[in-house]
Structure 1
Amino acid sequence: MGFLNVNGRAAGVGVGMGVGALLAWWAWRRHRQLDAPTRWEKVGEVSELVIYPLKSGRGVKVTEAEATQYGLGVDYLEDRSFLAVNKEGKFLTGRQLPKLTTVVVNLNGTKVTLEAPGAEKLELDLKNVTRAAKVTDAVVFNADVRGFDCGDEAAAWLTNAVNDGVVEGGTRLLYHGNLTRDRKAREPAYYSFSQYKASDKVLYADTCAFMLTSETSLADLNSRLERPITLDWFRSNIVVRGVKEPYDEDDYAFVRIGDVVFRRLKPCDRCVFTNVDPEVGKKCEDGEPINTLKKYRHVDGPEKLQRTWAQKPVFGVHLGIDACGKVCVGDKVEVARASCNPRWKYL
């Protein structure tokens, strides 16, 4: 779908071009076709699809979802569409407030339900939130974003559930409400990855719209840990079952699930947030699993990336999307490998 739209627009413009411009356009089009995958390899099947409505909140596991430009979604339930902020509008995550990982945000139509251990359930209606039109400016990793403030009752509930007096002035809850649709995916400051496109968008996510991991990679990591963990610690949107080798996803340049085509943006480097146990909302004093990952996850790449990944080890892969559509648990997962095409490397 995405490739057809791009080529369709270019073809329409090309009719009135001069010969030189037309030849340049044809070379560009041919280059794109050469770069597009023509050979796919089955590596497994989808075992989990997870939507994280609240940034840093608990994931909602679904059996099918729409893979959109902004991430996985089911009706109003969209990935990273709610955001916790402080009184100055700066975003808050499980890094500062580990208990955020225990908060469940679910939607039934426009009705929102907030739940957390030890807190009474709170219900909101997004129609009332957007009708109030209280728009708040916020900042996510130096990017300006906006959102509808969900009101004093939601702010009091969230503060009581997760704050523990850590954030002065408490916390407030924002809903994107179509106010952030033009936000581009954030390319990291430490390296320029050529696979990013202007079409890669996010709502309140950090870097990209999708993150994929495999059960096989988790099994390998757990064999090295004293205390096994789950993939909930890594906050994957798409989990693959049946992959033969651990960390095979390091080599995925494109991923195809049904008619949906994802494009690898970069390996997913991990920070201290991974040390938060999402079941109890507490940081692990032993620094796991990051400390173990640092010992053996030495991924090939340019020297500059090697230095970064020595401190922020890689687990999983960040994806953009080239063709949107429905994905389901049980769907076949096919890939085109970066090792098969030099243009699909990091450079």
Structure 2
Amino acid sequence: MRLASVHLYPVKSLGGVDVDRAVVEPWGLRHDRRWVLLQPDGGTLTARTAPAMLGLTAAPGAGSVTLTDRDGTSLTVAEPVDGPPVATAVSRLDTVRLAGDEAHDWLSARLGLPVRLGWLDDPRRRPVSTDHGGRAGDPLNLSDAGPLLVTTAPSLRRLRDWIVEGALERGEPAPEPLPMARFRPSVVLDGPVAPFVEDGWTGLRIGAVDFRFAERCDRCQLTLIDPVTLTSGKEPIRTLARHRRQDGRTWFGVRLIPLGGGEIRVGDPVTAG
């Protein structure tokens, strides 16, 4: 296998950027999921309830994040290292630091609802839950459950085939191939391996960086939202529920926890254990 692509999502639930390399830190990829949109009461806002978030893109900079709308307008926000701490409903985290009013106003105007932008200053303050494969001392960025989400191209190809087969059975035209972006992975692997072989991994090495298997990833309604049109449909959950349902949930991809640090690059060899 090889590392086929790397993806950063600096702001939780906003669109991200594809990069050719990334630094692995104990809590995930550098710059990944360090920012979050908060509702006025401190609750977390995600694209599950506000799909328009997927129409905004966040790109990391040196000590900053740049937010861009589809019309090309953008705003660069510095990391609020001295920003006021504010309570948050993010699991296993008491506070984040608030950005300035300009960021809140920019985002609120584009989403059509009042929001505030928060930044996680130190991911060591948030542990990986033991329910999601965490051990003592495992830190986490603002991802839902694990530092890295890994998917494989062979698994997506099998899922695409199942989707087409289901459509034909229903007498429907074959849909456009489902993009991997629906699953918002940190890294995508490709190579001559069986679909869903990742379910049985205990560990992984990408380049010179080792990872521990944490758990399989159960998929939520966010995967139903087309990141281009921002409309919702039935796929891929309908097909996953038919072919990949277990314990009342549907599964695609696995979560990993870094055992060390270093840089990973597209094209790096990958070894599974």
TM-score over 0.5 for the pair: yes
Shift of 1:118: 3.7
8 Å contact from structure 1 (residues 254, 335) kept in 2: yes
8 Å contact from structure 1 (residues 119, 161) kept in 2: no
**Residue in structure 2 matching 1:156, options 98, 105, 115:** 105
Give the Cα–Cα distance (whole angstroms) in 1 for the partners of residues 126 and 99 of structure 2: 21
- After TM superposition, the runs of 4+ consecutive aligned structure 1 residues lying more than 3 A away are none
Give the Cα–Cα distance (whole angstroms) in 2 for the partners of residues 229 and 145 of structure 1: 37
Matched letter for residue 291 of structure 1: R
Matched letter for residue 208 of structure 1: G
Give the Cα–Cα distance (whole angstroms) in 2 for the partners of residues 187 and 95 of structure 1: 25
Shift of 1:197: 1.1
> Corresponding residue for 1:138?
88
Shift of 1:119: 6.5
Give the Cα–Cα distance (whole angstroms) in 2 for the partners of residues 187 and 258 of structure 1: 27
Matched letter for residue 140 of structure 1: V
8 Å contact from structure 2 (residues 127, 134) kept in 1: no
Mapping of 1:17-96 within 5 angstroms? Answer: 44-73=1-30, 78-96=31-49
Q: Which secondary structure state, in structure 2, belongs to the residue aligned with residue 48 of structure 1?
A: strand
**Which has a greater percent of helix?**
1
Matched, 1:171 2:111: no
> Corresponding residue for 2:241?
294
Matched letter for residue 316 of structure 1: G
Shift of 1:297: 1.1
- CA offset digits 1:101-133 (Å, max 9, x no partner): 22211233124311122462112233xx334x3
> What RMSD over aligned residues (CA atoms) do the two structures have, in Å?
1.7
Which of the pair has more CA radius of gyration?
1
**Residue in structure 1 matching 2:51, options 98, 103, 116:** 98
Q: Decide which moves more: 222-231 or 326-335.
A: 222-231
Q: Aligned pair in 2 of structure 1 residues 231, 54: CA closer, same or farther (>3 Å)?
A: same
Number of aligned residue pairs: give it. Answer: 262
> Corresponding residue for 2:129?
186
Mapping of 1:1-347 within 5 angstroms? Answer: 44-73=1-30, 78-118=31-71, 120-126=73-79, 129-131=80-82, 133-141=83-91, 143-162=92-111, 164-165=112-113, 170-178=114-122, 180-188=123-131, 195-225=133-163, 226-284=175-233, 287-298=234-245, 306-308=246-248, 312-336=249-273
Shift of 1:92: 1.1
Structure 1 stretches of 5 or more lacking a match?
1-43, 299-305, 337-347
Structure 2 stretches of 5 or more lacking a match?
164-174
Matched letter for residue 97 of structure 1: A
> Corresponding residue for 1:17?
none
Percent of pairs identical after alignment? 29
Q: Aligned pair in 2 of structure 1 residues 79, 107: CA closer, same or farther (>3 Å)?
A: closer
Q: Which secondary structure state, in structure 1, belongs to the residue aligned with residue 81 of structure 2?
A: helix
- CA offset digits 1:125-176 (Å, max 9, x no partner): 33xx334x322111114x33322211221111111222x44xxxx1111111
- CA offset digits 1:251-300 (Å, max 9, x no partner): 1110011221111111001111111111233322xx211011101114xx
